[in-house]
Amino acid sequence: MRPRALTPRARLFYATIPFMKKRVFLIHGWEGKPHNHWFPWLSLELRANGFDVSAPQMPNAATPNVAEWLSFLKGYVGTPDSHTYFVGHSLGCIAIARYLEALPQKIKIGGALFVAGFSGRINVPEISEFYSLPFDPSRAKTHSKSFVMIFSDNDPYVPMARSLEFAKQLGAKTILERGKRHFTAREGVTALPSVLPSLLKMSS
């Protein structure tokens, strides 16, 4: 049996349904910039796969403030939904987790991927506010079922135990990279292939 052709009214109806494009926000870390390290590579790969990619410059990245970063994210992202994804590097991971913690209860996002994220003290006083203020991971977890943590076995700033603790708090899948240190361009990391399939799987 041939499928029934759409009537003109039906075609008009479907034409008015908005196309929900998948959005990805790339959040850099302390002293970071939106086009550092592997962010440019990832932006190109994601756009080639149909994503709308945004990599904002976080305010006062050299002297970051929790309230300022969260306020900025709230205004920049607008209203997130199930087609919204986040990728964080280092301090950007904590910013994303705290942003999720503060979202209204009913909002659900597509997922978040963390690279070199951490929980607890890492002996960097300049950013201590981000990891010392109270944080309820159970509230952040309610906003998505898809979290991935990528960490390195020789990160000079973030011990593996801190990354694993962060992953456990959020129920994140873990991916161990060997020899990637802190995933920066200075350390030779200008592409991070393990990120892309994880995001594509989240959004499928």
CATH number at residue 160: 3.40.50.1820
pLDDT band with cut points at 50, 70 and 90 for residue 121? confident
Helical H segments across 124-159, by residue range: 128-132, 137-141
Give 115 or 204, the one with higher predicted confidence. Answer: 115
In this structure, the strands spanning 147-152 and 84-89 are unpaired
Q: Name which of 56, 63, 55, 54 is nearest 31 in CA terms.
A: 63
Is there a catalytic annotation at residue 155? yes
Rounded Cα gap, residues 47 and 23, in angstroms: 10
Give 82 or 125, the one with higher predicted confidence. Answer: 82
In contact, 47 and 54? CB cutoff 8 Å: no
Residue 3 lies in a domain: no
Cβ neighbour number for residue 187 with a 10 Å cutoff: 16
User: Which candidate in 90, 119, 152, 203 is catalytic?
Assistant: 90
Q: Is the pLDDT of residue 19 over 80?
A: no
Percent of the chain with pLDDT over 90: 85
Rounded Cα gap, residues 37 and 27, in angstroms: 12
Residue 13 lies in a domain: no
Determine the 3-state secondary structure of 175 from DSSP: strand
Is there a catalytic annotation at residue 182? yes
Residue 15 lies in a domain: no
Mean pLDDT of 50-77: 97
Residue 188 lies in a domain: yes
Range with the lowest mean pLDDT among 69-73, 130-134, 143-147, 191-195? 130-134
Residue 169 lies in a domain: yes
User: Which candidate in 89, 152, 155, 163 is catalytic?
Assistant: 155
Give the mean pLDDT of the chain.
Answer: 91
pLDDT for 3 equals: 42
List, as own/partner pairs, every contact residues 2-5 make where C-beta atoms lie below 8 angstroms and the sequence separation is at least 24, other chains included.
none
In contact, 144 and 111? CB cutoff 8 Å: yes
**Predicted structure pTM score:** 0.89
Kindly calculate the radius of gyration of the chain based on its CA atoms and give it in whole angstroms: 18
Mean pLDDT of 143-158: 97
Domain count, the chain: 1
User: Which candidate in 28, 37, 89, 182 is catalytic?
Assistant: 182
H/E element, 174: strand 173-177
Residue 42 lies in a domain: yes
In contact, 64 and 92? CB cutoff 8 Å: no
Domain that holds residue 136: 21-202
Angle 162-102-24 from CA coordinates, rounded to 5°: 75
Mean pLDDT of 184-204: 96
What number of CA atoms fall less than 13 Å from residue 20's CA on the CB side?
8
Residue 2 lies in a domain: no
pLDDT band with cut points at 50, 70 and 90 for residue 39? very high
Is there a catalytic annotation at residue 54? no
pLDDT for 52 equals: 97
Determine the 3-state secondary structure of 7 from DSSP: coil
Range with the lowest mean pLDDT among 6-10, 21-25, 53-57, 71-75? 6-10
pLDDT for 110 equals: 98
Residue 181 lies in a domain: yes
